[in-house]
Structures are given as structure tokens and as C-alpha cells.
């Protein structure tokens, strides 16, 4: 199995979720030679769920989870923290697809959410887990029409929601930016870096997490896979790849998986006077009517987090200019929504790679003898990654279920034209969608 050494994961910008936590303990790194039954590569939500589930179902087996950076500092710990239960196709204009596809998505996503919620409760993981739902807010007639379309889709699959008028959404957010919203109760939200750290810290005893340990090569010797790191080696019987956007680095489907970055900023903590000026409720989570618009969360810690802007970066690296552009877009979005918070600075700005595909396809199943994969979040890694991580472990251990079949039967990522044609096409598509989202930004 060949690895592309172009770039290993590294932090892009400064992740506010991670920075606002207490400093972490020392990382346990791969610094010697080890033998394990299983190695899971990638300490995001998918890998954390895969490693946990393997260890739960095979208590006699040894499981290593290896992560190139710190667990909680990479993409799974730098997102907006929405565990979305409902249809959420960000390539559509209203998040929905067909009735069957929407129902299947909901079933899968709730399976993932239920699994992680049960772990959070069992271990008392402090990650501000909330089952408070989310608001889809619009700023104009176009947005209202998209929400109406989304609401029709929800009615068709029997999912509850309710409408808020301009005054009602202002009573929640304190902002008079929005003209209306639709509330859906099933979404959970978290402090994502705290959740990832907590999941790693509470792995079953037969699973061990190694951080700051990038896999540099994998030598497939049939029954034994030898993984090489800067400081040592792990020999394992089986391997599960949960590397999401970095999946192409392991030689599979490089032309169908699209590393598309999105960006977020978080304010400093507001003082009591600023909190009073803002008004609204102390914690809420809002996504835009247009998937390319701005996601906003008010945190119980009296910070506000905004996310918008996408950039196709096949080299899996963002520049200072990318971060500066994102920050200035975030500042503009923040100022438009919260003119009463003049002087509340954005303290942190960061980016992270999603793993999109042109047809919403993903990779799940057996890659080769003793090698499995669960890759391709399509922007919804928290709930889908939880489910596919749990289910890839079950599949790799020989278990079968309707949900395993659902994932095995999902489309593979559709191949794109060769670069640089694909680069131009994807960047142009993002630009057009962002331009159309306009007012929602
Ligand atoms: C700003 C932002 C906001 C977002 N908001 C949301 C949201 O609200 N809800 C939602 O569901 N999703 C959201 N996402 C997407 C979500 O973060 C991803 O879908 C999710 O992280 C995917 O999880 P994963 O475990 O599959 O992959 P990742 O989180 O990308 O984990 C893969 C891991 O593999 C590691 N890795 C790669 N190569 C190697 C190697 N050679 N050796 C060792 N380790 C390696 C990487 O370091 C990485 O930690 C957002 C993303 C961003 C950037």
C-alpha cells in the first residue's frame, strides 16, 4: 500500500475550541515497536468510534488508535459541533434529497448520535452536550422559500418542526438580522474538542490512543501490516482507515474525494455589559437556509462562533491568505448580525478539511485483505462519522445489520476529470454557490 508523503495533517489556523480548554496532558506517541490486533488510523470522530466499538465487541483483542496530531485539535475537534439528525445534503439548495434517501440518512445519523450520547452520559464526558435542537434561519424571501422546501421534505418523512417569525427568532438570538426560522428539535450540539478528548480518554482498557504519531508507510505482509512512524513501528493483523480528507494519501479514490476546507472564528468571552446588549438566550445553534451561508452558535461560555466560506485545497493545506480572507468574511458576517457587539473581537480563526464528493458518495467496507475503511464525511462527519465508525468496526468483526448494508450499498465517490480541470471546476462551483448565497453570508 503506497502512501503519498505530500503533507501530513497539521493545524490550519488556531482552533478556538481547543484553545479554550485547559491544556492537555502529554501525548503518548509511537516511540518503540508494538504489536496489536487492530490499528485504527485517524483520531477524528470516525476513528474514535471505530476503535471504541472494536474494543467493546472484542474485549480480548488489542486496539491501537493512531493520530498524526492531538486528538481534538484536528477537524473533528474544530467543527461547529452540530450532531445533525435530519437530511443535510450541503450540495442541494435546501439540504433535502428524495424521501427514501432522507429517511435512510435520518436513521443512520440518529444511530451515530445515540451511540455517542450514550458514551458521553456513561462516562460523564464534559463537552457541553445539548439536545436543544437547531434553528434554520433565513434572511430574505429566497431563504424563506428554501426553508419552505425543506419543511415540505420534513413533512414527507414525518419529522417535527415549527416556524418562528422575525420577532421570535430575534428573541432567541438577540439579532434582528433574520426574517424567520424553522426549528427542528433532534439536533444535538457539543464543544467538539472537549468531546474528542473525552472520547479518547475513556476508551475501553484494551484500546490505546497514540497521538502526534503520523503513519508514514504501511507494509502489507499478508497477515501482518507493518505501520511505520517517525519514532517506531506497529505490527497489526488488521487496519481500519478513518482518515477522511486525508484518505487519498493512502492511495484510494484520489480523484473522487474532494478536500474542501471550511473556516470558523470564535469571539473572545463577552463581558456582562456585552451579554446584556446582545440579549436573546444564553445558548443557541443556528444554520443558514442556504447551505453556503453562515452557521452561528452562541455558546454558554458567552462566546459566539461563526462558520462560513469554502475553499477547494487538494494539497490539504491552507495559506495565511486563506485564513485572512476567512477572518474578514467572518468579521463582516458577525458585524451584520451583531451591530450591538462592536468591539467584541474574533479571538481565533481556523480552517479544516471536509471530505466531499460530487455525488455525496463515501467509502465504507473492505479495502483489501485485513484493511477496512470508513471515509467521506460529506460535511456531516459528527453524526455520520459516529455511525460509520461504529458500523465499520461491527462489519470488520463479521457482524451484519440493515445499517451496515445501507453503508455498503451507498454510492462510491464519483470520479472527477483530471487536475487541473477538476480544480477549476470545483473552485468555480463553490464560487457560484457562495455568490448565490450572498445575503446569507
Ligand atoms: C469549521 C468546520 C465546521 C464544521 N461543522 C460541522 C458540524 O457542525 N457538524 C458536522 O457534522 N460536521 C462539521 N464539520 C465537518 C466535520 O468536522 C468532519 O466531517 C469530521 O471531522 C469528519 O470526521 P472524521 O473522523 O471522519 O475525519 P477527521 O476529523 O478529518 O479525522 C481524520 C483524522 O485522521 C488523521 N490522519 C490523517 N492522516 C493520518 C496519518 N497518516 N497518520 C495518522 N493520522 C492521520 C487526521 O489528523 C485527522 O485527525 C465541520 C468542519 C469544519 C472544518
280 CA distance to ligand 1 centroid (A)? Answer: 31
3-state SS track over 338-372: CHHHCCCCEEEEEEEEEEECCCCCCEEEEEECCEE
Residue 388 near ligand 1, beta carbon < 6 Å:
no
Query: Is position 426 within any domain?
Result: no
326 CA distance to ligand 1 centroid (A)? Answer: 19
Q: Which residues of 369-391 are buried (b: 16+ CB within 10 A; e: fewer)?
A: ebbbbbbbbbbbbbbbbbbbbbb
What is the number of alpha carbons within 13 Å of residue 281 lying toward its C-beta?
A: 12
* Cα 416 from Cα 414, distance rounded (Å): 6
Query: Is position 416 within any domain?
Result: no
Per DSSP, the three-state class of 100 is: helix
Query: Is position 291 within any domain?
Result: yes
Which of 1, 10, 27, 42 is the pocket-test mutation for ligand 1 (most atoms within 8 Å of CB)?
Answer: 42
The pLDDT of residue 5 is 42
Cβ atoms 345, 267 nearer than 8 A: yes
Cβ atoms 247, 46 nearer than 8 A: no
Residue 311 near ligand 1, beta carbon < 6 Å:
no
317 CA distance to ligand 1 centroid (A)? Answer: 14
The pLDDT of residue 6 is 46
Query: Is position 7 within any domain?
Result: no
Give residue 115's Cα distance to chain centre.
16
Residue 43 near ligand 1, beta carbon < 6 Å:
yes
76 CA distance to ligand 1 centroid (A)? Answer: 4
167 CA distance to ligand 1 centroid (A)? Answer: 36
244 CA distance to ligand 1 centroid (A)? Answer: 6
Residue 224: domain span: 16-408
Per DSSP, the three-state class of 424 is: helix
Residue 242 near ligand 1, beta carbon < 6 Å:
yes
Residue 46 near ligand 1, beta carbon < 6 Å:
yes
264 CA distance to ligand 1 centroid (A)? Answer: 14
In this structure, are strands 63-66 and 207-210 parallel, antiparallel, or unpaired? Answer: parallel
1 CA distance to ligand 1 centroid (A)? Answer: 23
State the alpha helices, DSSP H only, in 189-319.
192-201, 272-278
Q: How far is CA 428 from CA 103, 291, 425, in A?
A: 31, 16, 5
Query: Is position 418 within any domain?
Result: no
Per DSSP, the three-state class of 182 is: strand
Residue 396 near ligand 1, beta carbon < 6 Å:
no
Query: Is position 192 within any domain?
Result: yes
421 CA distance to ligand 1 centroid (A)? Answer: 26
Closest alpha carbon to 291 in 79, 74, 16, 87: 87
Query: What cell was used for 221?
Result: 505482509
Number of domains in the chain: 1
Residue 352 near ligand 1, beta carbon < 6 Å:
yes
342 CA distance to ligand 1 centroid (A)? Answer: 32
Q: What is the CA angle 62-66-67, rounded to 5?
A: 155
The pLDDT of residue 95 is 62
Residue 161 near ligand 1, beta carbon < 6 Å:
no
Residue 78 near ligand 1, beta carbon < 6 Å:
yes
Residue 381 near ligand 1, beta carbon < 6 Å:
yes
Per DSSP, the three-state class of 154 is: helix
pLDDT average per 10 residues of sequence, the chain (441 residues): 56 92 96 98 97 98 97 96 87 68 94 98 98 96 93 94 98 97 97 98 98 92 93 97 84 76 97 98 96 95 97 89 96 98 97 89 93 90 97 98 97 80 76 74 84
281's torsion region: left (phi>0), alpha (psi -120 to 50) or beta? beta
Cβ atoms 135, 287 nearer than 8 A: yes
User: What CATH number does the domain containing 193 carry?
Assistant: 3.50.50.60
Residue 377 near ligand 1, beta carbon < 6 Å:
yes
Which of 49, 51, 79 is the pocket-test mutation for ligand 1 (most atoms within 8 Å of CB)?
Answer: 79
The pLDDT of residue 130 is 98
Query: What cell was used for 68?
Result: 498524526
Q: For residue 1, how many other CB atoms are within 10 A of its CB? A: 16
Per DSSP, the three-state class of 89 is: strand
155 CA distance to ligand 1 centroid (A)? Answer: 31
Q: Fill in the DSSP letter of residue 95.
A: B
Residue 267 near ligand 1, beta carbon < 6 Å:
no
Query: Is position 440 within any domain?
Result: no
Task: Report the DSSP beta bridge partners of residue 66.
Answer: 41, 210
Give residue 245's Cα distance to chain centre.
11
Q: What are the φ and ψ backbone dihedral angles of 429, each rounded to 5 degrees?
A: -60, -40
Amino acid at each position: 500500500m503506497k502512501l503519498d508523503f505530500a503533507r501530513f495533517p497539521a493545524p490550519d489556523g488556531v482552533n478556538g475550541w481547543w484553545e479554550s480548554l485547559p491544556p492537555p496532558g502529554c501525548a503518548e506517541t509511537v516511540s518503540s515497536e508494538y504489536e496489536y490486533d487492530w490499528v485504527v488510523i485517524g483520531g477524528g470522530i470516525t476513528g474514535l468510534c471505530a476503535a471504541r466499538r472494536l474494543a467493546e465487541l472484542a474485549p480480548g483483542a488489542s486496539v491501537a488508535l493512531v493520530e498524526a496530531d492531538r486528538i481534538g485539535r484536528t477537524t473533528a475537534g474544530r467543527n461547529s459541533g452540530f450532531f445533525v439528525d435530519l437530511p443535510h445534503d450541503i450540495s442541494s439548495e435546501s439540504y433535502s434529497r428524495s424521501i427514501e434517501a432522507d429517511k435512510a440518512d435520518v436513521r443512520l445519523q440518529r444511530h451515530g448520535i445515540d451511540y455517542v450520547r450514550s458514551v458521553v452520559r456513561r462516562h460523564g464526558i464534559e463537552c457541553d452536550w445539548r439536545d436543544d435542537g437547531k434553528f434554520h434561519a433565513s434572511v430574505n424571501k429566497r431563504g424563506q422559500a428554501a426553508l419552505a422546501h425543506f419543511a415540505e421534505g420534513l413533512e414527507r418523512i414525518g419529522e417535527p418542526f415549527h416556524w418562528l417569525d422575525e420577532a421570535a427568532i430575534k428573541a432567541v438570538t438577540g439579532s434582528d438580522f433574520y426574517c424567520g426560522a424553522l426549528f427542528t428539535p433532534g439536533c444535538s450540539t457539543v464543544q467538539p474538542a472537549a468531546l474528542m478528548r473525552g472520547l479518547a480518554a475513556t476508551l475501553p482498557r484494551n484500546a490505546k490512543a497514540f497521538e502526534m504519531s503520523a503513519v508514514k508507510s504501511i507494509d502489507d505482509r499478508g497477515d501482518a501490516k507493518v505501520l511505520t512512524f517517525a519514532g517506531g513501528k506497529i505490527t497489526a493483523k488488521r487496519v481500519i482507515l478513518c482518515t477522511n480528507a486525508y484518505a487519498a494519501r493512502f492511495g484510494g479514490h484520489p480523484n473522487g474525494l474532494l478536500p474542501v476546507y471550511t473556516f470558523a472564528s470564535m469571539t473572545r468571552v463577552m463581558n456582562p455589559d456585552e451579554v446584556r446588549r446582545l440579549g436573546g438566550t444564553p445558548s443557541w445553534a443556528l444554520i443558514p437556509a442556504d447551505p453556503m451561508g453562515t452557521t452561528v452558535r452562541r455558546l454558554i461560555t458567552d462566546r459566539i462562533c461563526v462558520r462560513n466560506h469554502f475553499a477547494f485545497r487538494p494539497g490539504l493545506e491552507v495559506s495565511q491568505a486563506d485564513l485572512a480572507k476567512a477572518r474578514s468574511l467572518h468579521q463582516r458576517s458577525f458585524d451584520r448580525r451583531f451591530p450591538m457587539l462592536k468591539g467584541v473581537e474574533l479571538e481565533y480563526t481556523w480552517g479544516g478539511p471536509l471530505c466531499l464528493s460530487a455525488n455525496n458518495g463515501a467509502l465504507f467496507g473492505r479495502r483489501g485483505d485485513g484493511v477496512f475503511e470508513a471515509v467521506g464525511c460529506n460535511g456531516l462527519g459528527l453524526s455520520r462519522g459516529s455511525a460509520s465508525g461504529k458500523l465499520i468496526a461491527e462489519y470488520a468483526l463479521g457482524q451484519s445489520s440493515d445499517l451496515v448494508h445501507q453503508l455498503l450499498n451507498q454510492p462510491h465517490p464519483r470520479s472527477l476529470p483530471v487536475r487541473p480541470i477538476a480544480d477549476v471546476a470545483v473552485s468555480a462551483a463553490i464560487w457560484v454557490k457562495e455568490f448565490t448565497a450572498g445575503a446569507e453570508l
